[in-house]
Amino acid sequence: MKLIKFEENVKLSNLNTIKIGGIAKKVYIPKTAEDIKILLDLSKQKDKLFFPVGIGSNTVFSDGILDHIFVLTRELNRFNLYEKEGKFYLEAEAGVSFKTIIRLVQKFNLKGFEWLSGIPATVGGAVVMNAGAFGTEVSDIIYEVHWLNPDGEYIILKRDEIDFSYRKSPFQNNGFVFKVIFQLEKSNTDIRRIIKNHLLERNKKQPLDYPTAGSTFKNPQKFSAGYLLEKVGLKGFKVGNVAFSEKHANFVINLGGGKYKELKKLIEIAEKKVASIYHINLEKEIQVVE
Q: Which residues are catalytic?
A: 167, 215, 285
Exposed e or buried b per residue across 271-290, where buried means at least 16 C-beta atoms within 10 angstroms of its C-beta: bebbeeebebebebbbbebe
Nearest C-alpha neighbor of 105 from the set 196, 191, 188: 191
- What does the DSSP assignment read for 194-250? HHHHHHHHHHHHS--SS-EEEESB---SSS-HHHHHHHTT-TT-EETTEEE-SS-TT
